[in-house]
């Protein structure tokens, strides 16, 4: 993957990453829409709620020719446990070096318990069947987000 950050309305260069189920390769999703959602940490309340929302709506996304992939900096072991615990039907990418995070520009300085630190800003990206980034949501609030993403995915098939 190139060093440049991805841009809206541009083709995303192919990349690979370590993921649950099998290694992730962007080009494997050619012909389908793809959602990549970036979340801060496995097994935290907001991230768990978001992942469960994607799980619950997964059949609807499938009907919209759309695949889902989650991504955080957690280890593969953490991801495997998280996916199993919540029966997630889609892969989770492990990005401890923040390679993919940096390409999508989701690493931000956050204040937690009064102390600054770097972390993932909850963000979702919708890539069309040709590999073009067509929509992005940054600084996501979990409540109501899933319906907005699903509607955007459905619109791509019209």
Question: Which residues are known to be catalytic?
Answer: 47
Bridge partners, residue 129, by sequence: none
Tokens 């899933």, residue located = 146
- DSSP H stretches of helix in 23-112: 45-63, 76-85, 99-103
Residue 153's H or E segment, with its range, is helix 145-156
Q: How many CB atoms lie within 10 A of CB 61?
A: 21
Q: How many CB atoms lie within 10 A of CB 35?
A: 22
State the Cα torsion 13-16-21-27 to the nearest 10°: 30
In terms of residues, how long is the chain? 158
């Amino acid at each position: 993957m190139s060093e440049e950050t991805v841009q809206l309305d541009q083709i995303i260069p192919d990349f690979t990453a370590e993921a649950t189920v099998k290694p992730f390769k962007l080009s494997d999703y050619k012909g389908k829409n793809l959602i990549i959602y970036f979340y801060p940490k496995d097994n935290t309340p907001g991230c768990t709620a978001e992942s469960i929302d994607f799980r619950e709506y997964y059949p609807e996304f499938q009907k919209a020719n759309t695949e889902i992939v989650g991504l955080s900096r957690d280890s593969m072991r953490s991801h495997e446990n998280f996916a199993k615990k919540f029966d997630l039907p889609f892969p989770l990418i492990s990005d401890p070096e923040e390679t993919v995070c940096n390409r999508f520009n989701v690493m931000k300085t956050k204040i937690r318990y009064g102390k600054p630190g770097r972390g993932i800003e909850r963000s979702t990206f919708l890539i069309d069947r040709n590999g073009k980034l067509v929509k992005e949501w940054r600084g996501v609030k979990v409540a109501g987000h899933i319906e907005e993403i699903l509607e955007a995915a459905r619109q791509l098939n019209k």
